[in-house]
């Protein structure tokens, strides 16, 4: 029973970023605007963040098994509607309902995992499943989109989560321990603030990086998914490394925040658009993710009752942090992308004029490029259609192919610069999270 509940936790938290690589396909298939498509991602995180605490507050008033099974069933039904959505509005509404079911499922699964495994192991399973789901979300979403379609992202969730409904109903409630009253503690404000800021910073790695790879550097969703798999692999390696070194919890969290900041700084300043330059920065981000998120979650929940309520606060902090990151970073990189268009077009003009093509072919290339740049305004353009429609002499094709490569290289450099400020802001958010970890010393009275 417990493995199915853990898988459900992973699915719910994976959905916070699972559609990232599918957004371009959703935009095209549902004939939506860029702003509408962004809400497919934002709506889920916002509703999940806001619903987590109320869900936890209502948990004590309902039978544990019914609570968990209801949440999972709502998540399953909404996932099915997402897969069948014929319009962007239906998809966004279904994502909101999916998030409500996810909030109920996360709170309920925590208590049931504790009932199955005991306090320490149950909480550890819940936290670990969430970290794995968060890190793997973009990877799995990208591979499914490339191999099948964006709808497959939601279709594959249905059977796994549906099996968890009877599993939740079969778990026996935990017995109350005599003599221990469910004390009510205040939320761990500092740990939750750190978690929110770190989640906002990680948005740059889990969201902006895949946009840079697909939209900026023109890589396929499958290639981008394989590339960003470095983050979850490094996150999984962080825990054995921490157990080996055994640093104090506060030091471990501080090092993790610093690694995330360093990784985002590396992503902001790649020497070229070669995918290899993203590997080491992603590894730093993944190690930082593995060292911080679960440790901060444990710190926010440790020895605090009722357990479900404090779990709700951590869920809320994480996903409100994601929304905060999207709200801060998206306008920045969008504006920078707009600002990069004029210099990029000037560079394209210069490259066309300097090419060894005949004057007539230069005019034809310029006209075709102008048409593509106009039709694809507001995004990094794909210039290949402009060259594919040209009718060039055989001796001119080699020069045209070299010109296309030079133009693509110029666009990659422009896109890299356009994403730079957003990655730097993400690094700043990670450093701000680091500052919240530093203990405040009280002045001793003389």
Q: Is residue 290 part of a domain?
A: no
Q: Is residue 131 part of a domain?
A: yes
**Angstrom distance (rounded) from CA 94 to CA 97:** 5
Read off φ and ψ for residue 215, nearest 5 degrees. -80, -40
Is residue 404 predicted with pLDDT exceeding 70? no
Is residue 376 predicted with pLDDT exceeding 70? no
Q: Is residue 68 part of a domain?
A: yes
Q: How confident is the model at residue 347 (pLDDT cuts 50, 70, 90)?
A: low
Choosing from 145, 173, 201, the residue where a domain stops is: 173
Whether the upstream peptide bond of residue 118 has omega within 30° of 0, thus cis, is no
Is residue 99 predicted with pLDDT exceeding 90? yes
Q: Is residue 364 part of a domain?
A: yes
Q: pTM for this one?
A: 0.81
Query: Quick one: pLDDT at residue 94?
Result: 95
Query: Quick one: pLDDT at residue 179?
Result: 44
The predicted-structure confidence for 48-70, as pLDDT tens digits, reads as follows 999 998 888 887 777 788 888 99
Widest CA span of the chain, in angstroms?
A: 91
* Chain-centre distance for alpha carbon 429: 16
Q: Is residue 84 part of a domain?
A: yes
Q: How many CB atoms lie within 10 A of CB 376?
A: 13
Q: CATH number of the domain that 104 lies in?
A: 1.20.1250.20
Name the residue range of residue 73's domain. Answer: 1-173
Choosing from 122, 153, 173, the residue where a domain stops is: 173
Q: Is residue 109 part of a domain?
A: yes
Q: Is residue 235 part of a domain?
A: no
Residues 355 and 362: beta-carbon distance below 8 Å: yes
**Angstrom distance (rounded) from CA 72 to CA 83:** 17
Q: What mean pLDDT comes out for the span 44-50?
A: 92
Q: Is residue 205 part of a domain?
A: no
Read off φ and ψ for residue 381, nearest 5 degrees. -75, 150
Choosing from 173, 196, 221, the residue where a domain stops is: 173
Say how many domains are in the chain. 2
Residue whose entry in the numeric block shows the structure tokens 């417990």: 2
DSSP state, 206?
I
Q: How confident is the model at residue 213 (pLDDT cuts 50, 70, 90)?
A: confident
């Amino acid at each position: 029973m417990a493995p199915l509940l853990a898988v459900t936790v992973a699915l719910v938290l994976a959905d916070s970023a699972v559609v990232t690589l599918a957004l371009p396909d959703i935009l095209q298939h549902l004939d939506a605007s860029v702003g509408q498509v962004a809400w497919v991602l934002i709506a889920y995180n916002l509703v999940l963040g806001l619903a987590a605490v109320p869900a936890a507050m209502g948990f004590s008033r309902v039978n544990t098994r019914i609570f968990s099974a209801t949440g999972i069933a709502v998540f399953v039904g909404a996932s099915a509607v997402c897969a069948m959505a014929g319009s962007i509005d239906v998809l966004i509404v279904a994502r909101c309902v999916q998030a409500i079911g996810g909030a109920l499922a996360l709170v309920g699964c925590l208590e049931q995992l504790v009932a199955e495994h005991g306090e320490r192991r149950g909480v550890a399973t819940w936290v670990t499943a969430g970290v794995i789901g968060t890190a793997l979300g973009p990877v799995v979403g990208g591979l499914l989109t490339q191999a099948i379609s964006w709808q497959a992202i939601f279709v594959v969730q249905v059977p796994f989560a549906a099996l968890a409904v009877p599993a939740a109903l079969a778990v026996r409630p935990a017995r109350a321990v005599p003599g221990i009253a469910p004390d009510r503690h205040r939320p761990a404000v500092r740990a939750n603030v750190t978690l929110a800021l770190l989640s906002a910073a990680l948005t740059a790695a889990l969201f902006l990086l895949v946009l840079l790879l697909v939209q900026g550097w023109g890589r396929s969703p499958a290639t981008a998914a394989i590339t960003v798999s470095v983050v979850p692999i490094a996150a999984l390696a962080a825990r054995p490394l921490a157990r080996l070194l055994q640093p104090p919890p506060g030091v471990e969290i501080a090092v993790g925040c610093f690694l995330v900041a360093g990784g985002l700084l590396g992503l902001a300043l790649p020497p070229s658009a070669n995918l290899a330059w993203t590997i080491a920065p992603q590894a730093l981000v993944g190690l930082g993710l593995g060292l911080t998120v679960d440790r901060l979650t444990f710190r926010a929940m440790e020895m605090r009752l009722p357990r479900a309520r404090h779990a709700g606060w951590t869920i809320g902090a994480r996903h409100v942090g994601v929304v905060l990151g999207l709200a801060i970073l998206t306008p920045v990189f969008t504006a920078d992308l707009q600002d990069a268009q004029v210099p990029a077009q000037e560079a394209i003009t210069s490259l066309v004029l300097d090419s060894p093509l005949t004057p007539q072919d230069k005019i034809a290339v310029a006209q075709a490029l102008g048409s593509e740049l106009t039709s694809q305004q507001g995004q990094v353009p794909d210039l290949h259609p402009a060259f594919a429609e040209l009718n060039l002499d055989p001796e001119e094709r080699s020069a045209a192919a070299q010109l296309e490569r030079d133009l693509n290289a110029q666009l990659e450099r422009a896109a890299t610069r356009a994403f730079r400020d957003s990655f730097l802001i993400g690094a700043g958010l990670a450093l701000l999270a680091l500052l919240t970890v530093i203990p405040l010393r009280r002045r001793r009275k003389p």
